[in-house]
Amino acid sequence: MHQSVAVLDFGSQYTQVIARRIRECNVYSKIYPYDIKASILKEDGVQGIICSGGPSSVLSKGAPMPDKKIYELGIPILGICYGLQLMGHLLGGKVEKSSHREYGLGQLTLKKKGKLFGGLPKSLRVWNSHGDRMSKLPKGFEPIGTTENSEFAAIQDADRQFYAIQFHPEVHHSEQGIVVIQNFLHKICGCKGDWSMADFIDESVARIRETVGDERVILGLSGGVDSSVTAALLHKAIGKQLTCIFVDNGLLRLNEREQVKNLYKDHFHLDVRVVNATKLFLDRLKGVTDPERKRKIIGKAFIEVFETEVIKLKARGNYTWLAQGTLYPDIIESVPIGGNPAALIKSHHNVGGLPKRMKLKILEPVNELFKDEVRKVGEALGLPKEVIWRQPFPGPGLGVRVVGPITRRVLDILRKADAILHEEMMAGGYYYKVWQSFCVFLPVKTVGVMGDERTYDNVIALRIVESVDAMTADWARLPHDFLGRISNRIINEVAGVNRVVLDISSKPPGTIEWE
């Protein structure tokens, strides 16, 4: 049994980020509802408690309150933001509405380092976001840090091991915030820091087995990193009780269906049902040029095909679960200064609308993890680099990379050109360095000359971008000779293409995909 630290969730949009920081310090963390009974925390043997921030004011009616007995457990507590106000409010201090809201970066001056601030400079830039302020300390407490607006921006009662800070140490904007968390975990709670992602796998395997029992699970496999890691994890936990469905919508890249089949069926021995639905998708897309209509048609057809497979499976066995590779959106971490993180969360393209109608229970074994953590899990499970570090590929696939009507012929042209780009990006060592690199088919014919003959053929655009989160992106500055070779190869090797152009638009105002 690993040492663990509890995070009580008072509704902060950073709760998951706190849990993640704790994992980064190699300590196991578990998020509990804010009103969890102290006796349960004791039974679970937690080494310490972190009370998260939250949008409420401790002064308002109905504000979320913890079980007061957590302060009598004799274990260290760190209150962050709302967690600080709680200590003031519940332990005999005083909290008042502040005349100005502290929001954004502020300067924290350390008055006393003690265990919490050990190893830090005297002054730090920290990220604040709160309305209330503590005006009187509870008995036994002393101030250890101040800001312009608050003489009690950081406080401690070292005897009882209670610490509280107004700022958010978990966000990157708080200078050396991670040191504060490390100090709390290692120096105050005495956690050794011997937990790792391999332990995450063991723990989730046990949890999945317990949840699923002898029932069966269905997973939609896309070949992307999230669903692949979910598949490998579930397979480790429940083996043959897992069945994956892979839908070939006819909009995949060259040999993609075979690659997925080889890896998951033949190598990992997963039960994968590969459904070739190319005809259905392409029939419905015939003549459609509007990007939004394309997306809707593809999404709807996917649900139909998937549902048909689910009905077949349910008739065959005790399938009661639908697993999804939902992640905790990593965008929230990089909230711009002064911005609202919630506004930044990208809408996820998971199969919305599926679950209810199909009467399946939802299983999301990696939904507390961030993208980079999921990659670590994938590595520990033995997934190959090409899967773990695969560039993002949109759900509607090549459907949004063919401008204009989608036909088999055009898809074939695009697939061949895209395969050449992929091969060259790999060979040149650029594939894993950029965010995405792909070809777009343009329904434009231009004149060219090949040998002595005049040609009149289509155009392929190269879209190669750098980005950290897909919210903004810029075109990658790759060497001209390298780009020239790609262009030559596509024009020489792909019949139907006589011109290659390079997309040099940034996002915004452009988007990464063309449709």
- Name 481's Cβ contacts closer than 8 Å, sequence gap at least 6: none
- Which of 13, 436, 487, 498 lies at the binding interface for ligand XMP (CB under 6 A)? 436
We find the least distance from the C-beta atom of residue 384 to ligand XMP, in angstroms, to be 21
- The yes-or-no answer on residue 170 being catalytic is yes
C-alpha distances in Å from residue 135, one per residue of 95, 96, 504: 6, 6, 55
Binding residues for ligand XMP restricted to 216-275, rule: CB under 6 A: none
We find the least distance from the C-beta atom of residue 310 to ligand XMP, in angstroms, to be 21
Binding residues for ligand XMP restricted to 495-514, rule: CB under 6 A: 507, 511-513
DSSP state of 491: H
We find the least distance from the C-beta atom of residue 400 to ligand XMP, in angstroms, to be 6
Task: Please give the angle made by the CA atoms of 278, 281 and 285, to the nearest 5 degrees.
Answer: 130
What strands, in cross-sheet order, belong to the sheet with 242-248? Answer: 271-276, 242-248, 216-220, 319-323, 361-363
We find the least distance from the C-beta atom of residue 513 to ligand XMP, in angstroms, to be 3
- Name 339's Cβ contacts closer than 8 Å, sequence gap at least 6: none
C-alpha distances in Å from residue 368, one per residue of 19, 31, 33, 379: 9, 10, 15, 18
Q: Which is nearer to ligand XMP, 135 or 334 (CB)?
A: 334
Q: Which is nearer to ligand XMP, 115 or 507 (CB)?
A: 507
Q: Are 403 and 443 in contact (CB under 8 A)?
A: yes
- Which of 125, 207, 349, 359 lies at the binding interface for ligand XMP (CB under 6 A)? 349
List the one residue out of 225, 286, 266, 220 whose CA is nearest residue 247. Answer: 220
Q: Are 65 and 12 in contact (CB under 8 A)?
A: no
Over the window 458 to 487, marking each residue x when it contacts ligand XMP by CB under 6 A and - when it does not, the resulting string is ------------x-----------------
User: How remote is the C-alpha of 505 from its chain's centroid?
Assistant: 26
Q: How many residues line the site for ligand XMP (CB under 6 A)? A: 11
We find the least distance from the C-beta atom of residue 507 to ligand XMP, in angstroms, to be 5
- The yes-or-no answer on residue 168 being catalytic is yes
Binding residues for ligand XMP restricted to 284-313, rule: CB under 6 A: none
**For the chain, how long is the longest CA-to-CA vector?**
93
Q: Which is nearer to ligand XMP, 360 or 473 (CB)?
A: 473
User: Within 10 A of 345 (CB to CB), how many other CB atoms are there?
Assistant: 14
Q: Which is nearer to ligand XMP, 256 or 513 (CB)?
A: 513
Q: Are 157 and 140 in contact (CB under 8 A)?
A: yes
Q: How far apart are CA 201 and CA 192, in angstroms?
A: 19
We find the least distance from the C-beta atom of residue 392 to ligand XMP, in angstroms, to be 4
Q: Does 325 bind ligand XMP (CB under 6 A)?
A: no
Q: Which of 89, 130, 168, 235 is catalytic?
A: 168
User: Within 10 A of 13 (CB to CB), how many other CB atoms are there?
Assistant: 18
Q: Which is nearer to ligand XMP, 470 or 501 (CB)?
A: 470
Q: Are 319 and 216 in contact (CB under 8 A)?
A: yes
We find the least distance from the C-beta atom of residue 3 to ligand XMP, in angstroms, to be 38
We find the least distance from the C-beta atom of residue 300 to ligand XMP, in angstroms, to be 13
Q: Which is nearer to ligand XMP, 64 or 510 (CB)?
A: 510
Burial class (CB in 10 A: 0-12, 13-18, 19+), 1: exposed
Name residue 497's beta-bridge partners.
458
Q: How far apart are CA 78 and CA 87, in angstroms?
A: 10
User: Within 10 A of 240 (CB to CB), how many other CB atoms are there?
Assistant: 10
Q: Which is nearer to ligand XMP, 157 or 333 (CB)?
A: 333
The structure tokens 């929230």 sit at: 332
Q: Are 427 and 444 in contact (CB under 8 A)?
A: no
Q: Which is nearer to ligand XMP, 76 or 397 (CB)?
A: 397
SS3 137: coil
Q: Which is nearer to ligand XMP, 169 or 378 (CB)?
A: 378
Q: Are 222 and 260 in contact (CB under 8 A)?
A: no
We find the least distance from the C-beta atom of residue 438 to ligand XMP, in angstroms, to be 8
We find the least distance from the C-beta atom of residue 472 to ligand XMP, in angstroms, to be 9
Q: Which is nearer to ligand XMP, 79 or 378 (CB)?
A: 378
Q: Which of 51, 81, 189, 191 is catalytic?
A: 81
Binding residues for ligand XMP restricted to 357-416, rule: CB under 6 A: 392, 394-396
- The yes-or-no answer on residue 439 being catalytic is no
Q: Which of 170, 333, 373, 424 is catalytic?
A: 170
Task: Please give the angle made by the CA atoms of 393, 395 and 396, to the nearest 5 degrees.
Answer: 105
Q: How far apart are CA 80 and CA 211, in angstroms?
A: 33
Question: Contact residues for ligand XMP (CB under 6 A)?
Answer: 349, 392, 394-396, 436, 470, 507, 511-513
- Which residues are marked as active site? 81, 168, 170
